[in-house]
Amino acid sequence: MKIVTAVAPVNIAVIKYWGKRDEKLILPINDSLSATLSTDVMCAKTTILTSPDLKENKFWLNGKEQSFDNVRLKNCLTESKLNYNKYIFALILIIFLVKKRCNSTLPYINWKIAICSENNFPTAAGLASSAAGYACLVYALAALYEIDGEISDIARLGSGSACRSVYGGWVRWQKGILSSGEDSIARPIASASHWPEMRVLVLVVNDNQKKYGSTIGMNHSVETSTLIRYRSESVIPQRIEEINKAILERNFHKFAEITMKDSNQFHAICLDTYPPCIYMNDVSHAIVNLVHHYNTYKEENKVAYTFDAGPNACIYLLESVLQEFLSIVNYIFPKPMDIKANDYFKGLPLDQTIIKK
């Protein structure tokens, strides 16, 4: 019998991935860049057991059990509209690819496996749960089957953004140009300790399941938005180099400006999608206003917001303004907002403050 457990953190993109050039291989139309958070507050955890005594493959996702033996693959394909089955289909594909990459003489390669995956934060509420979940699964499988090399390309096949959660610190996912997808991989550009004062706050506005998942939303954007092409061809190539430089130089003012502009442009594309996919709500917009007022008061950017496919705000800020900004948020949003996680980058000493109202 062999057991492995892996923990993978959420990543928060500052240059958003939105749109695919190949849906099957999950190849993006633009490069993206994110920071991977510490594993202590928001993460996925996967345990895999393999034993000659197991009669069938099994997996539990957040406590729900589902058999995923090959006989079910057909169901997954026919019922692919259901996210759950999409997950199982990706699971089978990922297991197949990891096994293909490992040493085929491993004595337990043909034993059945039992997988138990869970997130410690809301699934599908625009909080990058799938990224952490798939990265964790691939990580755990790679550990089980003793794979050492590249695995971000396999994580990408579960969910695009998952390939960035395979690494800690600042990570860039290169879109690649090959149709095979071989060059569409994630690469770390700087470690978390490169910018030790950096902090991330996650302001949970609403943790209900989002109306349009990212996959559907970005497909509609590619089909109907005219802005999306302008962004991928004329904006991102320069923007990604600029933010890369700002991170390497630890220039927060510039970093914040690019992060906020990119979040705004991503949501402008969502609005330019027909019918529009609207993720931000009034509270999200109030947070945007608050951040701009705060930065104006400070006479330079001290705080940056970014929103994924949901209303929840991810706030990048430096340690020096964390307490002051938190007090203002607490004062302005007394009830409706639930500040769930005061998160820190992987590798940093943790405070582990979780503020709930």
Residue 12 CB neighbours (<10 A): 24
Tell me if 13 contacts ligand DP6 by CB under 6 A. Answer: yes
Stretch that binds ligand DP6, among 11-19, 43-51, 53-61, 287-295 (CB under 6 A): 11-19
- Rounded (5°) CA angle 123-129-132: 145
**How would you class 145 by CB atoms within 10 Å of its CB: exposed for 0-12, middle for 13-18, buried for 19 or more?**
buried
Q: How far is the CB of 294 from ligand DP6 (least distance, A)?
A: 24
Reading the block at residue 90, the tokens are 């990706």
The mark string for 25-54 relative to ligand DP6 (x by CB under 6 A, - otherwise) is -x-----x----------------------
The side-by-side arrangement of strands in the sheet containing 338-344 is: 303-307, 313-318, 198-204, 338-344
Q: How far is the CB of 37 from ligand DP6 (least distance, A)?
A: 13
Of the candidates 18, 7, 50, 13, the one whose C-alpha atom is nearest the C-alpha of residue 267 is: 18
List the one residue from 6, 8, 10, 16 that touches ligand DP6 (CB under 6 A).
16
Tell me if 85 contacts ligand DP6 by CB under 6 A. Answer: no
* Spatial separation of the C-alpha atoms in residues 197 and 324, rounded to whole Å: 15
Residues 222-261 that bind ligand DP6 (CB under 6 A): none
Task: List CB contacts of 208: < 8 A, sequence separation 6 or more.
Answer: 122, 125
List the one residue from 17, 167, 255, 344 that touches ligand DP6 (CB under 6 A).
17
Residue 279 CB neighbours (<10 A): 22
Stretch that binds ligand DP6, among 81-89, 105-113, 157-165, 284-292 (CB under 6 A): 157-165
Tell me if 309 contacts ligand DP6 by CB under 6 A. Answer: yes
Q: How far is the CB of 329 from ligand DP6 (least distance, A)?
A: 22
Tell me if 186 contacts ligand DP6 by CB under 6 A. Answer: no
Tell me if 89 contacts ligand DP6 by CB under 6 A. Answer: no
Indicate the residue among 113 and 155 with the shorter CB distance to ligand DP6. 155
Sign of CA dihedral 34, 35, 41, 44: positive
Stretch that binds ligand DP6, among 9-17, 70-78, 311-319, 336-344 (CB under 6 A): 9-17
Indicate the residue among 159 and 273 with the shorter CB distance to ligand DP6. 159
Q: How far is the CB of 160 from ligand DP6 (least distance, A)?
A: 3
Encode 321-343: b = buried (16+ Cβ within 10 Å), e = exposed.
Answer: bbeebbebbeeebeeebebbbbb
* Sole residue written with tokens 């500040």: 339
Name the β-bridge partners of 304.
Answer: 316
List the one residue from 161, 184, 232, 306 that touches ligand DP6 (CB under 6 A).
161
Stretch that binds ligand DP6, among 2-10, 57-65, 158-166, 223-231 (CB under 6 A): 158-166
- Rounded (5°) CA angle 8-96-35: 25
Tell me if 308 contacts ligand DP6 by CB under 6 A. Answer: yes
Indicate the residue among 29 and 192 with the shorter CB distance to ligand DP6. 29
Contacts with ligand DP6: how many residues (CB under 6 A)? 15
Cα separation values, 94 from 78, 151, 185, 269, Å: 19, 10, 16, 31
Of the candidates 213, 211, 212, the one whose C-alpha atom is nearest the C-alpha of residue 131 is: 213
Which one-letter DSSP state was computed for residue 70? G
Indicate the residue among 308 and 326 with the shorter CB distance to ligand DP6. 308
Tell me if 159 contacts ligand DP6 by CB under 6 A. Answer: yes
Indicate the residue among 14 and 192 with the shorter CB distance to ligand DP6. 14
Cβ pair 307, 202 in contact under 8 A? no
**Residue ranges binding ligand DP6 (CB under 6 A):** 13, 16-17, 26, 32, 128, 130-131, 159-161, 214-215, 308-309
